């Protein structure tokens, strides 16, 4: 096992989330010189680089188990000890289980740790035991349990209920829990998650203290309660629509979805499965056995290791290979350029891209069917104008039959050290699906301050017909989300305004007090959102007033359902919910102000 990074051994920093829960290149070719009487010869032709191989070993930080592997529990525990409190450490791990049955395991997951089965169906890989996330490292507070995932496993929990007490960037995908699921930490302390997709929970899901949650295209036995904002789309067994009391937003189906690509074994061969697009989806994709879609052999992927250059990654892409990013940290001196339709970039174990010198980390052309999934982009200390671009400016092609998907792609500015980016994610291509992202300007960790990790804008959508399912965007200096494309839709939005604003003047937006968390552009004529929440906690200056959480043109086809704003413990206040509509938050009671329908 690699040594823990220095940062992994630091005590946890007690940031605002403690209080939130309480509130509820190539060189030139040589020139060949002739005699003095002759002109210089032409430069020698540059040799074409040797083709890169596809496939290969997954590297030391991908741990693969089968039922006969000795010492599985000890190995799991070893990884957990390293990663449990390494919130801004450099360790990255993927724990992969070959199809079969495993008994007596408790896989506790720390930071940057992913666990997954290697079957085509979750039921191909059964753990008689638990996959646990708890919050002992942080005194029972689960609001910083970020960056970990579970995927493609069946669980038979030891006591009948599995514990998954997480916050943002912790997806629970393609899981079958043959029992219940508890989303709160031991002792029912504070929690701030979360996301479930394509999963079946046979028993009850108990959020308890979870403040917000989004569940998509799944099946559940029942759902216990809600705190502020619980959203369901395409979920069999979901509670009925009842916002704001209880705060359930329920859509019978998800308009468009396409599940995340995943690694699996066909015999002894690794392949990547690409699920097909569904419309008006409801329930899991794997309920009748083999899911629908296509697959690619690993030989069609460049299997990248940390330390590889951006030039090599781009050579692989230009060569026609897909990318599999094995766990670790990748420094990029130039953007990854994805110019070929249907390219897959899949990360394992929270593979992390850091753009150096202010470059953009990833640029996607205006092409069909690109799939980006399972990696983290961490801003570098030199300001990047953008970190992730889906389509160039002015992109206008129709991708409705085969959209680009961005799934479990997370963006961070600051926290692991100073980072800056003017805009984190820009979506220019039409019909893009953003399916679970957390775009976060850090409010705690290293390199954090109003100007230290400056980041004005979180997500900017310019493309038409873009759908977001599970949009988490927090703490930007100005607008968190700006949406300029037509016919955009968002199902579930979670936001916190930047806590560290020094004073009212720092956030003043012309004559408006503060920048909206979610702004729809003035020229937009059609837009719709369901289950959107914004919270403020202006602890540096609690007298700051935020006029509203949401801003949009008043038009009949610009519609919102089930909006809320919350002032956490009276640290700052909202005057309205959307535009000039909705009651102000007041006092220190941390009670949401809601608008059920707008306009």
* DSSP 8-class letter at 15: -
Alpha-carbon dihedral 322, 286, 203, 279, rounded to 10 degrees: 80
The distance from CA 440 to its chain's CA centroid, rounded to whole angstroms, is: 10
Mean pLDDT by 10 residues, the chain (599 residues): 34 43 35 34 68 96 98 98 98 98 98 98 98 98 98 98 98 98 96 96 98 98 97 98 98 98 98 98 90 96 98 98 98 98 98 98 98 98 98 98 98 97 98 98 97 98 98 98 98 98 98 98 98 97 97 98 96 97 90 97
- Confidence at residue 579, expressed as pLDDT on a 0 to 100 scale: 98
* Burial 235-247, CB ≥16 within 10 A → b, else e: bbbbbeeebbeeb
- Confidence at residue 289, expressed as pLDDT on a 0 to 100 scale: 73
- Confidence at residue 287, expressed as pLDDT on a 0 to 100 scale: 87
- Confidence at residue 48, expressed as pLDDT on a 0 to 100 scale: 75
Of the residues 276, 474, 496, 528, which is catalytic? 496
429 vs 479: CA distance, rounded Å: 21
Query: Helix count (H) and strand count (E) of the chain?
Result: 4, 43
- Confidence at residue 288, expressed as pLDDT on a 0 to 100 scale: 81
496 is catalytic: yes
**What number of other Cβ atoms are within 10 A of residue 132's Cβ?**
18
* DSSP 8-class letter at 2: P
5 vs 441: CA distance, rounded Å: 22
- Confidence at residue 42, expressed as pLDDT on a 0 to 100 scale: 58
450 vs 463: CA distance, rounded Å: 30
| Strand residues in 195-292 grouped as ranges (E) | 195-197, 200-206, 212-223, 229-236, 248-251, 254-258, 262-266, 269-275, 277-281
For 73, the 3-state DSSP assignment is helix
Alpha-carbon dihedral 443, 447, 452, 453, rounded to 10 degrees: -60
> What are the backbone dihedrals phi and psi of residue 375, each rounded to the nearest 5 degrees, phi first?
-145, 165
111 vs 87: CA distance, rounded Å: 6
């Amino acid at each position: 096992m690699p040594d823990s990074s220095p940062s992994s051994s630091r005590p946890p920093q007690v940031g605002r989330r403690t209080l939130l829960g309480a509130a509820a290149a190539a060189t030139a070719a040589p020139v060949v010189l002739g005699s003095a009487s002759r002109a210089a010869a032409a430069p020698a032709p540059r040799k074409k680089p040797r083709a890169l191989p596809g496939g290969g070993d997954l590297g030391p930080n991908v741990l693969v188990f089968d039922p006969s592997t000795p010492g599985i529990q000890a190995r799991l525990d070893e990884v957990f000890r390293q990663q449990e409190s390494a919130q801004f450490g450099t360790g990255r791990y993927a724990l992969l289980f070959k199809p079969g049955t495993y008994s007596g395991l408790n896989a506790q997951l720390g930071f940057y740790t992913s666990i997954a089965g290697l079957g085509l169906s979750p039921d191909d890989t059964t753990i008689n035991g638990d996959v646990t996330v708890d919050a002992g490292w942080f005194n029972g507070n689960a609001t910083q349990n970020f960056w970990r995932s579970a995927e493609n496993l069946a669980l038979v929990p030891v006591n009948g209920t599995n514990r998954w007490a997480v916050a943002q960037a912790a997806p629970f995908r393609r899981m079958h829990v043959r029992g219940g699921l508890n989303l709160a930490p031991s002792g029912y302390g504070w929690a701030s998650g979360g996301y479930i997709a394509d999963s079946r929970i046979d028993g009850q899901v108990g959020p308890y203290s979870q403040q917000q949650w989004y569940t998509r295209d799944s099946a559940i036995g029942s759902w216990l309660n809600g705190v502020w904002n619980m959203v369901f789309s395409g979920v069999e067994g979901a509670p009925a629509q009842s916002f704001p009391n209880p705060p359930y937003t329920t859509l019978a189906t998800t308009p468009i979805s396409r599940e995340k690509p995943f690694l699996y074994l066909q015999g002894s061969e690794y392949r990547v499965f690409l699920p097909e697009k569904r419309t008006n989806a409801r329930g899991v994709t794997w309920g009748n056995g083999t899911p629908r879609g296509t697959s690619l052999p690993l030989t069609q992927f460049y299997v990248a290791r940390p330390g590889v250059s951006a030039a090599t990654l781009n050579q692989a892409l230009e060569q026609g290979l897909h990318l599999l990013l094995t766990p670790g940290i990748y420094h990029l001196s130039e953007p990854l350029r994805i110019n070929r339709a249907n390219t897959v970039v899949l990360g394992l174990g929270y593979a992390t891209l850091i753009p150096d010198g202010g470059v953009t980390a990833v640029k996607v052309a205006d092409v069909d069917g690109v799939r980006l999934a399972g990696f983290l982009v961490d801003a570098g200390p030199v300001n990047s104008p953008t970190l992730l671009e889906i389509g160039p400016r002015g992109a206008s092609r129709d991708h409705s039959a085969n959209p680009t998907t961005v799934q479990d792609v997370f963006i961070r500015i600051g926290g692991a050290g100073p980072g800056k980016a003017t805009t984190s994610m820009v979506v220019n291509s039409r019909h893009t699906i953003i399916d679970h992202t957390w775009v976060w300007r850090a409010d705690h960790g290293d390199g954090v301050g109003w100007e230290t990790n400056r980041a004005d804008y979180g997500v900017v959508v310019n493309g038409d017909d873009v759908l977001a399912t599970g949009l988490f965007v927090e703490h930007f200096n100005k607008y968190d989300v700006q949406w300029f494309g037509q016919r955009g839709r968002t199902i579930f939005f979670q936001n916190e305004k930047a806590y560290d604003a020094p004073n009212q003047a720092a956030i003043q937006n012309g004559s408006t007090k503060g920048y909206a968390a979610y702004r729809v552009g003035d020229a937009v004529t059609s837009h719709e959102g369901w289950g959107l929440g914004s919270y403020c906690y202006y602890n540096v200056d609690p007298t700051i007033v935020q006029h509203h959480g949401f801003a949009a043109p008043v038009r009949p086809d610009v519609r919102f359902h089930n909006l809320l704003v919350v002032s956490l413990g009276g640290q700052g206040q909202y005057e309205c919910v959307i535009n000039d509509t909705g009651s102000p938050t007041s006092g220190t009671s941390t009670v949401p102000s809601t608008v059920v329908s707008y306009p």
